[in-house]
Amino acid sequence: MEDLKAQINIAKLPEHIAVIMDGNGRWAKGRMQPRVFGHKNGVKAVREITEAAAELGVKYLTLYAFSTENWNRPSFEVNTLMRLLVDTIGREVKTLNKNNIRLNAIGDLSKLPTKTRKALLDGVERTKHNTRMDLVLALNYSGRWDILNATKTIAEKVARQEMKTEDITEATYKAALSTATFPDPDLMIRTSGETRLSNFLLWELSYAEFQFIPTLWPDFTKNHFYECILNYQNKERRFGMISEQLV
Ligand code: IPE
Ligand code: IPE
Ligand code: MG
């Protein structure tokens, strides 16, 4: 159904789309398979959505791949996820370069297994000159972790008298977050029917439009993605104002 894509108003595209890729485990369970089978099949959806976003002209795509809370899962699942990341990044760098997409990562990367961190930093390095779209992987990320980290950075600057308390503004705070170089998301999509944020981009999503869709992540296709963008384009973003002011 090419129609959905054709209906999208390219002039009103969300500049930044953030996605909570959820439902891999349930997808596998529904097929009587181990949870990691769902993660392996989720990679295809990552590829599809990255391609769809770049083709449309979206400038930033942030994908929640692993939260700080996900360490609490059984170690077999955590280890498989970490290995899957290494394999996937290694395999996809060529395609990212071909499509002119820059890879970025947010989160506490220092806690990742060495191999995973190396694969990631290698991917970031090898795609750093690309300009069409920024793909941001949130890995060992949580919104509260980032806010606390930013607070510490700012507190240290104030203590060293490099900054005054009155210089702490929305802009200087944003500059201390791991998302400093990315604009706030316009649209946040969560798959699998869950309607919570699970510690994702707490500062940055203050004025994003939310789309919660029932599809499990491995089943998420370009058409689902287009539908989310079309729904987004039918919303009126008032930013505290009233309709009549928005002409
Ligand atoms: C999302 O799918 C992937 C990660 C959190 C890494 P889940 O693994 O959370 O799948 P469900 O929610 O258990 O179905
Ligand atoms: C959020 O999904 C994290 C990622 C998608 C990486 P979870 O499946 O971990 O979230 P909860 O625990 O169900 O809220
Ligand atoms: Mg989940």
Dist. CA 70 → ligand 3 center (Å): 9
Q: What is the pLDDT of residue 247?
A: 80
Tell me which ligand sits closest to the C-alpha of residue 35.
1
Q: Which of 9, 24, 41, 70 is catalytic?
A: 70
pLDDT more than 70, % of the chain: 99
Q: Kindly give, in sequence order, each residue whose CB lies less than 8 Å from that of residue 231, ignoring residues fewer than 6 positions away.
A: 211
Q: Is residue 218, in this structure, part of any structural domain at all?
A: yes
Number of domains in the chain: 1
3 occurs within a structural domain: no
Q: Ligand 2 pocket: which residues have CB below 6 Å? A: 20-22, 64-67, 69-70, 194, 196, 198
Residue 137: which of 93, 72, 193 has the closest Cα?
93
Neighbours of ion ligand 3 (CB under 5 A): 22
pLDDT in tens, 198-222: 999 999 999 999 999 999 999 999 9
pLDDT of residue 77: 98
Centroid of ligand 2 to alpha carbon of 113 (angstroms): 20
Residue 76 counted as domain residue: yes
Residue 44 covered by a domain: yes
Domain of 210, CATH number, reads 3.40.1180.10
Above 60 in pLDDT, residue 1?
no
φ, ψ for residue 217, nearest 5 deg: -50, -45
In a domain, 225, yes or no: yes
Q: Assess if residue 34 is contained within a domain.
A: yes
Query: Quick check: 2 pLDDT over 80?
Result: no
Distance between the two ends of the chain, CA-based, in angstroms?
33
Q: 67 in a domain, yes or no?
A: yes
> What is the C-alpha separation between 90 and 161, in angstroms, rounded?
43
Nearest-ligand number for the alpha carbon of 198: 2
Range of the domain at 61: 13-142+184-234
Is position 229 within any domain? yes
The question of whether 87 is a catalytic residue gets the answer no
The per-residue pLDDT for range 84-143, each reduced to its tens digit, is 999 999 999 999 999 999 999 999 999 999 999 999 999 999 999 999 999 999 999 999
